[in-house]
Chains A and B, each alone.
Chain A
């Protein structure tokens, strides 16, 4: 959407200025709150900001962030490879969807963090454990959004394709997949934020035993010096990481699905949460 707005550049400048003013006001408020609340309870914003800058040069933190990204990428790739085909099967074969429905409805709400012990016993700790948790937790929004996307396919287009004698696979490839792609993309972005939660949560729960990662970094700090500003600074970086990954996925969505851009307003960009995430996560 931002590209379409180019002729109205001043509106973008205003939005940026507003956003920056909001951030500045928040930091000022946090800083002045820090004057009232003792530093041991909640550190000052300026102290945290100094730590944020310092962390950018902390090689151990950078290595941990790299490991977190690696697990995220591997987990998301596998999630898409598992959940999109599964969603296509369930979405286009009502019989199979019906037969598996009772099972998926009970499996879906089981939080992936609760599987840590089992996965560790079966696969050992480390990257494989984290990736398995991400695939379990991330597959549901992708699966359900793929099915929701297939349900929303224009029946006239489907019947036209069938009337021209196209087979099931050709219909999926030329009609169902393109028209449900925006739903799938939304599901992938929800899965990405869940993947980050599981990635860091599992690392924090299992600590260094599970190998490097931001979760292990935070576990180290909190069991060691208990340096609260450092933990907050890491949290800020993780927020940036989440924002960057979301922006990356939005950009990929725009590149790959140019036909979808016109059909959705700027609201979609501003609120990257599901436009139609039926039974998300």
Chain B
């Protein structure tokens, strides 16, 4: 009990320090930008009110979100989550099936490696032609880019299962379902999360890219219209928003990962 209390106090201290460092960095940025007084680098005292006015000055019954926020931030988030969701729904079951059937994987391996090597941005004109401009095009781009790291890591995780464990499960006559849910999926999970972390950062790149290329709303669209008007405060507001959204998405993924991999030692020793 004592140690747990001490631990949480230590964590709280570290948490406070963490945010103090960030506040200090923002303060330095403010001083630097004021000193420099360049139109390209507006200070936080310009960017933050700009963000508030753009997105968070709405009525209370809309959670203070402005129409601009609901028509740009919300669609972008839906696209990222939908794209990642489709990738997970397809890649994880398929990856586990392929990982457990080396014969089939042998036939597909060169195709998978090739598909993974294609930077999905090259196919953007094709996607615009196939899906027309709109959410379906952006989601398709995100799925086409994020599915491969997830699929290949899941295959790797499911195939590198300790054979002794499989033999033990057989000896104890575990049913196929139990072998899948108690053995195969848990052992593949660390690799699945490795793939998911990579897919999450790719999905943000592809969300912005696809909205810059062809969209009529979204964060990337807002950025591209700010760019064409050389409206740098809005541009910077979008950049900061992307940093915050990315931070939150990563934090959610990290929390889910910690919850799912409580039993797995490596998860608690993550680099950050």
Interface residues of A (CB under 8 A from B): 14-15, 18-23, 25-26, 41-42, 98-103, 105-118, 121-122, 137, 140, 144, 147-148, 151, 190, 193-194, 196-201, 204-205, 214-215, 218, 221-222, 226, 228, 231-232, 234-236, 238-243, 246, 265, 267, 270-274, 276-281
Binds A, one of B3-11, B60-68, B149-157, B175-183: B149-157
CA–CA, A25 to B106, complex, Å? 13
Interface of B is mostly: helix
Interface residues of B (CB under 8 A from A): 14, 17-19, 21-22, 25, 40, 106-111, 113-126, 128-130, 145, 149, 152-153, 155-156, 159-160, 194-195, 197-198, 201-202, 204-205, 207-209, 212-213, 220, 223, 227, 235, 238-239, 242-247, 249-250, 269-272
CA–CA, A277 to B191, complex, Å? 10
Q: Is B195's CB under 8 angstroms from A273's CB?
A: yes
Residues of B within 8 A of A148 (CB): 270-271
CA–CA, A196 to B22, complex, Å? 32
CA–CA, A112 to B201, complex, Å? 11
Q: How far is the CB of B12 from chain A (nearest CB, A)?
A: 15
Residues of A within 8 A of B239 (CB): 110, 114-115, 118
CA–CA, A27 to B247, complex, Å? 42
Tell which of B121, B195, B204 touches A204, judged by Cβ atoms closer than 8 Å: B121
Tell which of A115, A121, A194, A235 touches B123, judged by Cβ atoms closer than 8 Å: A235
Q: Is B197's CB under 8 angstroms from A280's CB?
A: yes
Tell which of B111, B207, B269 touches A26, judged by Cβ atoms closer than 8 Å: B111
Given A22-B110, A204-B213, CB of A114 within 8 Å of CB of B119: no
Residues of A within 8 A of B159 (CB): 267
Q: Is A19's CB under 8 angstroms from B110's CB?
A: yes
Tell which of B109, B115, B223 touches A114, judged by Cβ atoms closer than 8 Å: B223
Interface centre among A22, A199, A242, A273 (most CB of B within 10 A): A273
CA–CA, A199 to B239, complex, Å? 20
Q: Is B272's CB under 8 angstroms from A98's CB?
A: no
Residues of B within 8 A of A22 (CB): 106-111
Tell which of A114, A196, A273 touches B238, judged by Cβ atoms closer than 8 Å: A114
Q: Is B113's CB under 8 angstroms from A243's CB?
A: yes
Interface of A is mostly: helix
CA–CA, A235 to B149, complex, Å? 19
CA–CA, A235 to B117, complex, Å? 10
Q: Is A201's CB under 8 angstroms from B209's CB?
A: yes
B125: nearest residue on chain A (CB-CB)? A222
Q: Is A228's CB under 8 angstroms from B246's CB?
A: no
Q: Is A280's CB under 8 angstroms from B194's CB?
A: yes
Residues of A within 8 A of B272 (CB): 101, 105, 144, 147, 278-279
Interface centre among A15, A121, A194, A197 (most CB of B within 10 A): A197
Residues of A within 8 A of B19 (CB): 102
Q: Is A101's CB under 8 angstroms from B18's CB?
A: yes
Residues of B within 8 A of A20 (CB): 110
Residues of B within 8 A of A215 (CB): 121-122
Given A214-B122, A271-B153, A280-B194, CB of A151 within 8 Å of CB of B271: yes
Q: How far is the CB of B123 from chain A (nearest CB, A)?
A: 5
A234: nearest residue on chain B (CB-CB)? B122
CA–CA, A134 to B156, complex, Å? 28
Q: Is A98's CB under 8 angstroms from B17's CB?
A: yes
Given A242-B118, A243-B114, A246-B117, CB of A42 within 8 Å of CB of B271: no
Interface centre among B113, B220, B227 (most CB of A within 10 A): B113
Given A114-B220, A118-B40, CB of A15 within 8 Å of CB of B122: no
Q: Is B149's CB under 8 angstroms from A111's CB?
A: no
Q: Is A274's CB under 8 angstroms from B194's CB?
A: yes
Q: How far is the CB of B63 from chain A (nearest CB, A)?
A: 23
Residues of B within 8 A of A241 (CB): 117
Q: Is B245's CB under 8 angstroms from A109's CB?
A: yes
Given A109-B204, A114-B208, CB of A270 within 8 Å of CB of B109: yes
Residues of A within 8 A of B126 (CB): 228, 231-232, 235
Tell which of B22, B122, B194, B227 touches A106, judged by Cβ atoms closer than 8 Å: B22
Q: How far is the CB of B197 from chain A (nearest CB, A)?
A: 6
Q: Is A21's CB under 8 angstroms from B40's CB?
A: no
Interface centre among A14, A151, A234, A277 (most CB of B within 10 A): A277
Q: Is B153's CB under 8 angstroms from A197's CB?
A: no
CA–CA, A154 to B120, complex, Å? 39
Q: How far is the CB of B236 from chain A (nearest CB, A)?
A: 8
Residues of B within 8 A of A42 (CB): 130
Q: How far is the CB of B117 from chain A (nearest CB, A)?
A: 3
Q: Is A102's CB under 8 angstroms from B18's CB?
A: yes
Q: Is B205's CB under 8 angstroms from A279's CB?
A: no
Closest 10 pairs between A and B when the two form their complex, measured CB to CB: A109-B246, A242-B117, A222-B125, A22-B107, A102-B22, A201-B121, A19-B110, A281-B201, A18-B106, A278-B271
Given A15-B106, A18-B107, A201-B119, CB of A109 within 8 Å of CB of B198: no
Q: Is B156's CB under 8 angstroms from A267's CB?
A: yes
CA–CA, A209 to B204, complex, Å? 25
